[in-house]
Structures are given as structure tokens and as C-alpha cells.
Amino acid sequence: MWAYTVGFTVLPHVGGFLGWFLNRKEIPAWYEKLKKPSWCPSRKMFPVAWTILYTGMGYASYLVWSDLGGCSSKAIVPLGLYGAQLALNWAWPPFFFGAQNLNMWPQVNPTVVQKMAEKQEEPSNAQNGEPDNAEEGEGKKKKVKREDLPPFEIVTGERLPAIFFKFQFRNVEYSSGRNKTFLCYVVETQGKESAPCRGYLEDEHAAAHAEMAFLDTILPRCEAGGRCSVTWYVSSSPCVSCAQRIADTLRRNKALRLTIMVGRLFMWDEPEVQAALRSMKEAGCKLRIMKPQDFEYVWQNFVEQEEGEEVKSFVPWEDIQENFQYYEEKLAEILH
């Protein structure tokens, strides 16, 4: 009987070992380079945890098999469900490490991802300068609440609400739930004595993009035939189509100088995105990651304050410097 005990107990470890063996090279090459939360346990803990888990699962399956009289009709359902669960446990390491794509989760259920992101990463009422009292807060929210926009509409203005800045510009690694692009711009034209042209645009990220809208509507109004210097402060880097449009515009207009400061890199691990970013650089675009000082600049110059309230100073969020360094390293690797 001991042979059955050992067999059932060891069985889960076979698939676990094969999963590790097939993907062992991906751990130092990819997984170890991922940015993880501070509370993420050491990699040395995973073999211990999975050994305990698989041993418990295997021995439990032996007890079920033994108590139900072996492979009887009564054991088919519980052991069948156990086998399905075991197969899924074995399948996830090759799938996860083989795909190497952290953006797959939002594609499965974007609604759930957005709700979780809003709950976990959106600033609290206190951080937004809003009262914690529900009744008092409701009255205040009415002042800043804007009407629902039709899908894919481009919104323009001089200053964006603080709550949008704190959520959309936050330089987190996982940007789930942030399905818009916010673009703040400053345009200076050589030879013009008037103040620089400035403002912001936002979009619904699935269709008309803020970068395209700027090139189509804002830039023609600000250009006057002379040398034009444009600086963007964008919540995330351009997608492939926007990057190609930017590169084409710079190649056609030699008098245009464009600097793009981005809070996050959009899908930076995709080869076509990396190629598009390099194409922008080759066309003359200066692409930079926003430093904490750049976020403060946007806060002071592009974020609206409540009427009658004192001007609030910029409060950096946790890990803002660490996240900046993380994205700066990624961008350097891409553009090298």
C-alpha cells in the first residue's frame, strides 16, 4: 500500500518539475528583470511553497482514492476534478513564461481589470483634496463632475482635473484601467513675441488618439512658417500608429522640433512598439521619461485647482522615483 501512497504523493511534483525544467532559462532572463512590489517574496520561497502544496494535494488524492475503494465509480468525479486542476497547475508555467506578456490579462476581461485598478491605484479622497465625509464630498464632486462623453471624443482644454492627473499620469508598471491618453503641450514658435501656445488633450484610447488630434488640429494653428519647438507631457508613450505618424510629420517638417516626456511606456515589450519608438528617435524626436520634477511641472501648469481653495503643492506618490528609473532603463534598452 505504501507504493500507492508514494505514487500519488509524487505525481503532482512530476509536472511541476517539468514545468520548471522547460522554463528555467526564462527565470533569470525575463522574470527576474520584472519590476515587482516590495512585498513580493524571494524566489527561494517558491520551491518551498510549491513542494508543500503539491505534497498536500498528492497525499489528499491518495486518501480519496483509498477511502472510495480505488478507481470506483464514486471516485471518478472527485479524482477527475483533481486531475483537471493538476493539469492547469502544470500548464501555467510554460504558458506564463513562454508568452512573456503582462498585457494579456486586460484582454481577457478589461472591465474587471479596470474596476480593480480603480480600486487599488486611484488616489483616495484625502489625496485628491476631497472630504472624507460622504455628504460633504457629494456636493463637491458635483462641481468637478463633467458630463459623460460620447465614445472616442477628443477633449481639449487648458487644465485637467486633479483626480485625472493623479490616476492617469501615475507612472505605474501595470497600467490596467488607464484606457485614455492625456497629452499636455507647450508650443513655442521662433519669431513670435506672444506667449507659448499651451493646453491639454485627452482621448478614448481605442480610436482617435490625442497625438493624432494634436498634429491635425493644434499644430497647424500654432505654426507660423518658422522654427517650431513642441514639448509634450503624455501619460503614456505613443502606440505604433501614432509613433509612425509622428515620425512621418518630423521627416516632412524639418523646422519642427518635438520633445515627448512620457509617464509610462505603452506595451514596451512588444517588438513592433520598440521599432516604432526607434523610428521616432531616428526622425529627430527626443523621447524622455518624466522625472518627479516633470510631474510637478505638469501639476503646477496643467492641473486645475478648486475655486476658492488654496493652491495645493504636488505630493509625489510612492515609488515615483523608482518607477522613473525603471522606465528610463527600459527606454534606454529600446533606443540603444
As a whole number of angstroms, the distance between CA 185 and CA 256 comes to 14
| Cα–Cα distances in angstroms (integers) from residue 328 to residues 39, 172, 246, in the given order | 23, 13, 21
- Sequence length of the chain is 336
pLDDT digits (tens, 9 = 90+) for 200-237: 888 754 457 889 889 988 888 776 556 889 999 999 99
Q: pLDDT exceeding 90 applies to what percent of the chain?
A: 28
Cell 503624455 found at: 234
Count other C-beta atoms under 10 Å from residue 254's C-beta.
9
Sign for the pseudo-dihedral over CA of 145, 122, 161, 137: positive
- The answer to whether the CB of 243 falls within 8 A of the CB of 181 is no
As a whole number of angstroms, the distance between CA 36 and CA 322 comes to 11
| Cα–Cα distances in angstroms (integers) from residue 157 to residues 51, 138, 328, in the given order | 57, 25, 29
Of 233-242, 274-283, 301-310, minimum mean pLDDT range: 301-310
Of 31-40, 170-179, 262-271, minimum mean pLDDT range: 31-40
At 43, list the grid cell.
524566489
Region 304-321: mean pLDDT is 78
- According to the model, what pLDDT value does residue 28 have? 57
- The answer to whether the CB of 237 falls within 8 A of the CB of 269 is no
* Top-confidence residue, 115 or 60: 60
Written as one string, the DSSP assignment of 280-328 is HHHTT-EEEEPPHHHHHHHHHHHB---TTSPPPPP-PPTTHHHHHHHHH
pLDDT at residue 159 tops 90: no
pTM exceeds 0.75, yes or no: no
Of 24-38, 88-102, 285-299, minimum mean pLDDT range: 24-38
Q: Spell out the domains of the chain, with CATH numbers in brackets.
A: 2-100 (1.20.1260.100), 114-335 (3.40.140.10)
Of 96-110, 252-266, 296-310, minimum mean pLDDT range: 96-110
Mean pLDDT value across the chain: 78
pLDDT at residue 153 tops 70: no
Cell 510629420 found at: 249
As a whole number of angstroms, the distance between CA 301 and CA 184 comes to 9
pLDDT at residue 161 tops 80: yes
As a whole number of angstroms, the distance between CA 35 and CA 323 comes to 9
pLDDT at residue 128 tops 50: no
Give the list of residues 6+ apart from residue 121 with CB closer than 8 angstroms, or none.
167, 170, 172, 177
Catalytic residues: 211
Region 297-325: mean pLDDT is 83
- According to the model, what pLDDT value does residue 284 have? 94
